[in-house]
Amino acid sequence: MVAHRFVESWLRRAPEDGWSLTVLGDEPYLPYDRVHLSEHVGGRTVEDLAMAPAVWDDPRVVLRTGDAVAAVDREARTVRTASGSVHPYDTLVLATGSWAWTPRAEGTDLPGVFSYRTLDDLRGLMAWVRDRGAALGRSVRGVVVGGGVLGLEAAAALQTLGAQAAVVEFADRLMAVQLDAGGGEALRVLVDDLGMEVRTGAAAQRLVAGPDGAVARAELSTGDVLDADVVVFSTGVRPRDRLARESGLAVGERGGVVVGPTCRTSDPAVWAIGECASFEGECAGLVAPGNAMADVVVDRLLGGTAVHSRSAEGTKLKGVGIDAASFGDVLGLTPGALEVTFADPVAKTYKKLVVSDDARTLLGGVFVGDIDLYSRLRPLLGRPLGADPAAFLTPEGAGGAPQTELPDDVVVCSCANVTAGTIRGAVSEHGCTSVGEVKACTKAGTVCGSCVPLVTTLVNTALEKAGVEVSRAMCEHFAMPRAELLALVRQDGLRTFSEVVAKHGTGRGCAVCKPVVASILSVLGVGHVLQPDQSSLQDTNDHVLANLQKDGTYSVVPRVPAGEITPEKLAVLAQVAQDFGLYTRITGAQRIGLFGARLDQLPTIWRRLVDAGFESGQAYGKSLRAVKSCIGSAWCRFGVQDSVSMATRLELRYRGLRSPHKFKVGVSGCARECAEARGKDVGVIATEKGWNVYVGGNGGFTPRHAELLAEDLDDERVVQVVDRFLALYIRSADRLQRTAPWVAGFEGGIAELRRVVVEDSRGLGAELEAEIARHVDAYVDEWRATLEDPEKLRHFVAFVNAPDQHDPDLSYTSLRGQVRPARTGDVQHHDPRVARTLEVVP
């Protein structure tokens, strides 16, 4: 990656002629994006990972891959490759990177033991897991040694490949270099939630082979033994400095080619950049300082005076499905440093800022579970924070955290070494009018991507200051955002997508705007989602009123208001699951989900459920999912209000209510909060005087606690306040915007939202309530309506031209007494019949 950066920088600045550049690499691929290497497991090809291959089209640049340099002759100024070819040089730049270090442990050379560093490492790992699973006839058991960033990526990759994953870390916490004790514990909770086993304070002492000679188990320093069909070591890297050592260049005590601020080695004709270079006694392990070194060397070779200096590095966990990031002095080791910490065990988030003794200068930060502040604050490292540190961390500050104006010299994108001034200049001096154009112009946000939110803010602010209107277009077909389009459709009384696009858009629509218009029409009560001119607009799940699963089957989730269900209805669900061979589980929303139904089976299953009094739970739509409840005062000795009755009332009121994003409600019968209502989009919590209403919780990938909207309300007032809140959200939120960021970004904050919703300061109350009342009056169960319409039922056949045929490739295996989709290596049972009353092979 650093060599590629050197070539890009050279081509951008070098004279037109009089030079040639040869790049030699031992891997057989074009230089590729190692930062996103794990995405190869998820399907990104080698070509996808290749970094801007256009640089190799320049005739003055020669790239030779798959031919490692074997020796450097500094006296003759030549390099010799493994193939025997010799290349003379005037200037030599070493960008040899690093190699994956494996600790001394017996058995590390066994088949099934891998490093996690290169494309070949990953390809070998992928093939091993696939073939080993097939040979064993079961899921592969994996052990990752090393609980750092790359180790967690490796564990996630194993899970993506269908293997189990256990992480063994010698330190007392995960990501020990980047996180403090609190952050490490918060990360461990999130990793546990992913189904990974974590062993900290342990080392892999010995790997033991099975009967076939491949690795079979790992013996730990704690005396524990883990079954292991594959072992991945991710225990750090060491600089690749062999060429430098053998050619007599100065090498640091801890390895690495010694360089000074100019990145020149002990030989004036040789330079070193990236992970192989030792600057001030340390080798950088990230791409950002390597890129900075590349720019320094290019500048020096062209007569400039640039120098390299060590800057505080930030780290962001990626490719795991967990948010964790840090920068600067994470342990508060700076003399006099103060630590300001906020931990939310319910939302599973942890945030810490480290500041100077006067609480003004930012020294470091740790973020787990919610890293929105990382990109905003990391550029301010070593600079005045500009506000009370606590204001950035508390829930009240999360949405309206103090805004900070970044000076021009602050580095926003450390990977490409791009400053805030450069980004602003791309707008003011180079005429860029979009984030994409700025990224292409400056390279900001093109490597790891963590700075993109901040880059977007800077670009939009610069455009507004320049008098350029920032586009709020939904897509190329509609020049306005969702909220504005909803108002126009309501005003004009439009009833179909054709009418909407003809009046307010262009073209034929796309995958962005079609579902939005479908949702708007549903909000305005324009018929069933499968009626003509609407069915083709829906997302995949809405199109069949069920959630698509990984094997091409669907889930059936009937509504169970407040989790309350009769024995008779339970018996019906059990019988349906048994008759159709469906996987059954209690969902997190207190409902019973049936998984594995084929498309053609859905109407038959719905008929039996509808006849028993069930209706669609809308588990597939951008709408109300469920209202979770504790047992409340009806049974609980601590309950102060009837939470089940309130939850049932709210669920039956808002069922089927389409919105910009799915939303959930929780009702707790006392302050003990067993329904976790503050983790929902709307939370209702009982008090001795009535109910408190909280809004804007949940947040999906970015969990957030709901904020107090109103206190001590009676039942009718609760319904009124929630009506107004939901109607206002549906009316004004953007496409796919959850309530959490909508509340956080509401102009004037929660205080103004309270005035609008609770106090009716804008006189919208009656209008908002009427919108919900219209929905309640017009509600029709989508399953029942589909069953009553032959035209809608035509959607539910596996093959349009062969309605009696079924997918012969569906295959299943047993899991704790039930079926699940088979993976590679599982013992499989194929079932082409209509009713899957199958005997599962164990």
Q: Which residues are annotated as a binding site for [4Fe-4S] cluster?
A: 630, 636, 670, 674
Residue where the block lists tokens 């091993």: 128
Residue where the block lists tokens 């491949």: 214
What residues are designated binding site for siroheme? 674
- The pairing of strands 164-169 and 21-24 is unpaired
Tokens for 212, please give them: 């076939």
List C-alpha distances in Å: 631 to 562, 565, 648, 752, 766.
Answer: 9, 13, 12, 34, 33
DSSP state at residue 658: B
Residue 504: CB atoms within 10 Å: 18
Main-chain dihedrals φ then ψ at residue 754, nearest 5 degrees: -65, -40
328 beta partners: 364
Q: Side chain identity at 201, as an amino acid letter?
A: G
Ramachandran quadrant class, 440 (left: phi over 0; alpha: psi -120 to 50; beta: rest): alpha
The answer to whether 697 and 742 have CB atoms below 8 angstroms apart is: no
DSSP code per residue over 736-797: T--HHHHHHTSTTHHHHHHHHHTS-TTS-HHHHHHHHHHHHHH---HHHHHHT-HHHHTT--
DSSP code per residue over 802-813: -TT---TT-EEE
DSSP code per residue over 421-474: HHHHHHHHTT---SHHHHHHHH-TTSSS-TTHHHHHHHHHHHHHHTTPPPP--S
SS3 for 318-352 is CCCCCCEEEEECCCCCCCCCEEEEEEECCCCEEEE
Residue 49: CB atoms within 10 Å: 19
Torsion of CA 516, 519, 523, 526, to 10 degrees: 110
Main-chain dihedrals φ then ψ at residue 673, nearest 5 degrees: 60, 45
Q: Alpha-carbon distance 158 to 144, whole Å?
A: 9
The answer to whether 174 and 150 have CB atoms below 8 angstroms apart is: no
DSSP code per residue over 224-292: -EEE-SEEEE---EEE--HHHHHTT--B-TTSSEEE-TT-B-SSTTEEE-GGGEEETTEE--SHHHHHH
Nearest residue to 275 via CA among 261, 262, 257, 260: 257
Q: Side chain identity at 97, as an amino acid letter?
A: G
Main-chain dihedrals φ then ψ at residue 658, nearest 5 degrees: -70, 145
List C-alpha distances in Å: 653 to 509, 626, 685, 773.
Answer: 33, 11, 18, 9
Tokens for 56, please give them: 């190799």
Residue 815: CB atoms within 10 Å: 13
Ramachandran quadrant class, 81 (left: phi over 0; alpha: psi -120 to 50; beta: rest): beta
What residues are designated binding site? 630, 636, 670, 674
Q: Alpha-carbon distance 100 to 118, whole Å?
A: 9
The answer to whether 93 and 273 have CB atoms below 8 angstroms apart is: yes
Tokens for 687, please give them: 């008090």
The answer to whether 320 and 156 have CB atoms below 8 angstroms apart is: yes
